[in-house]
Every structure is written in structure tokens, then in C-alpha cells.
């Protein structure tokens, strides 16, 4: 899934997916003015903790979500829910 945020004319993109080739959960963040950050997790709990941490950071930095999440065409194959 992908989420889009904006703040003062800047855009932020967050993507979560499951890489079935490596059996890893992937978190990819495109911050404005920085290289794309990609983190991989083999453990579901560690992935969920990291996503929640990122959500808190985004909120603390006053990013505003634009629209709802966008479901990736290949679908979500992970087991995370909340």
C-alpha cells in the first residue's frame, strides 16, 4: 500500500509491501530532499513496530495525509492488520 502526505508544498510517500521473492516485509519512504529509504524485515512484529514508529514521526512533524491509502496493483500479501 502507498500513503501520500504533504506539508508546506513538500510531498512524502510511504510504501509498505511484502517481497515474496525474499519473504520480507518492505518499508520504503521517499522524504523530500533525501534519498529514498528502504528497510526490510523478516519479522512481522519488527515491521509493525517500525511502521507505527514512522506513523508517530509523520504525525509529530505535522505531515497531512492526502487522500486514502492506495492499494498496489500486485496486492498486499502480508499478515499485518491494525
With a threshold of 0.85, does the pTM exceed it?
no
pLDDT given at position 67: 86
| Tens of pLDDT, residues 31-80 | 999 999 999 999 999 999 999 999 999 999 999 999 877 776 665 454 44
H helices present in the chain, as ranges: 44-60
- Cα–chain-centroid distance for residue 71? 12
pLDDT at position 14, please? 96
What does the pLDDT read at residue 78? 47
User: Among candidates 79, 78, 82, which has minimal Cα distance to 18?
Assistant: 78
CA–CA distance, 48 with 59 (Å, rounded to integer): 17
User: Any idea where the domains of the chain sit in the sequence?
Assistant: 2-65
Residue position matching grid coordinates 512484529? 45
CA 27, distance to chain mean position in Å, is: 5
Amino acid at each position: 500500500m502507498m500513503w501520500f502526505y504533504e506539508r508546506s508544498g513538500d510531498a512524502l510517500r510511504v510504501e509498505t509491501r511484502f517481497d515474496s521473492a525474499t519473504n520480507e516485509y518492505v518499508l520504503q519512504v521517499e522524504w523530500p530532499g533525501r534519498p529514498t529509504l528502504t528497510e526490510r524485515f523478516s519479522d512481522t512484529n519488527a515491521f509493525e513496530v517500525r511502521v507505527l514508529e514512522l506513523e508517530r514521526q509523520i504525525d509529530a512533524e505535522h505531515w497531512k495525509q492526502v487522500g486514502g491509502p492506495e492499494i498496489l496493483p500486485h496486492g498486499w500479501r502480508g499478515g499485518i492488520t491494525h
